[in-house]
Structure 1
Amino acid sequence: MVRTLALVLAGATALAVPPPAAGSGPGRAAVDRAVTYRATAPYQQHATGVRAGYRPDRYCVFDRVGGTGALGYPHFNHAYDNSTDPAKPTALLYEDDGRGGKRLVGVQWTVYDRDQDPRTDGDRPTMFGVPFKGPHRGNFPGQPVHYALHLWLWKKNPKGRFTTYNPAVTCLPGTTRP
């Protein structure tokens, strides 16, 4: 694990230097993904993510509509709500590791819709050259209308790196919200 982490960090550092001259485009997206790898690598240790302020949801989240996978256990740091900084995702996504622990599989950014009208999307953010999905109504009481972007950085998603749910992530029986 330590050697893998060192290789990932070395690769992320190599990708991040030098940054592309332009502020967008495929080169910028690759650099931003490298920043996210580097920033979230320490959170592969679940306790490190929790110490950094990412609070675990006690339930595993799965696709109730399409049945095409799961998010796993989201851990939110609401200090990063509205962040489009690749180093500061709003949520870390963990799955059960089969040994009673959690394994980091992805990250999520959440940005609130300015006018709180889910019928309009003039303020849709983008990162990595990808538009956020939404606007969505809140998933829990008090959550505003928002946009979300998921990035499956630490576990391959066969449906695509930015697809909301990952069919390779499953929720164990009894771990989902009733």
Structure 2
Amino acid sequence: MRVHRILTTAAVLAAVAVAGTAVPASARPVDAIRPDHASQAALVAELRAATARFHDVDVAIAEGYLPAEECSASPAGAMGHHFVNPALIAPGAPVDASKPPVLLYGPSASGELEFWGAEFFEPNIGQPTPVFGTQQFDGPMPGHEPGMPEHYDLHVWVGKHNPDGLYAPFNPSVSC
């Protein structure tokens, strides 16, 4: 893997803090929460198709995803390395399955980074809890690092099976 630049978590978070303009909940389109989406499975399939090209981490970097230095893990399992695209973080904007703001990578058996999944991240601006189809985001929660805003997030394990569930934050079958 070629990493063009490795950013500290603080640098990624600073980029996130300045990305986008807050959109009040009252200005959101009616379909922003997609309550009548034909099928949650179809939405996950849309996300899986949209992220297929990101199995190559260099493609993610070329498209503006910035890697964090650390691999996030806990006793519950791992989340992996977060690659954040600050241009895709727009507080209060509708969730777009074709444009996840965060990609998750972790080490493969050979030691190279492999694609594990996507994360939707939305700073809390007082909006209703965001949803991905019918799946509510987790939160609001305080930032996990200095400078990270209170936020909502949702992990979707479309690249690596998670025995704890498609939307579980940590995956017990992987490690950093």
TM-score bucket of the superposed structures, by smaller chain: 0.7 to 0.9
Q: How far did 1:101 drift?
A: 1.6
Q: Does 1:163 align with 2:153?
A: no
What per-residue deviation string (whole Å, max 9, x for no partner) do you get for residues 61-113 of structure 1? Answer: 012xxx11010111111111136100111110001113232100110001111
For structure 1, the residue ranges without an aligned partner over 5 or more in a row are 1-22, 116-121, 172-178
Structural mapping, 1:72-91, within 5 Å: 72-82=80-90, 84-91=95-102
1:71 is aligned, of 54, 76, 79, to 79
**With structure 2 as the length reference, what TM-score do the two structures score?**
0.74
RMSD of equivalent CA atoms: 1.6
What per-residue deviation string (whole Å, max 9, x for no partner) do you get for residues 102-134 of structure 1? Answer: 10011000111113xxxxxx6111113111001
**Matches of 2:130 and 2:69 in 1, distance apart?**
29
**Matches of 1:100 and 1:139 in 2, distance apart?**
27
Q: Does 1:24 align with 2:29?
A: no
Q: How far did 1:136 drift?
A: 1.0
Q: How far did 1:25 drift?
A: 4.9
Percent identity over paired residues: 31
Q: Does 1:109 align with 2:120?
A: yes
For structure 2, the residue ranges without an aligned partner over 5 or more in a row are 1-33
Aligned counterpart, 1:42: 53
**Matches of 2:96 and 2:37 in 1, distance apart?**
17
**Matches of 1:102 and 1:37 in 2, distance apart?**
18
**Matches of 1:76 and 1:168 in 2, distance apart?**
23
Question: Does the CA-based 8 Å contact 1:114-1:123 persist in structure 2?
Answer: no
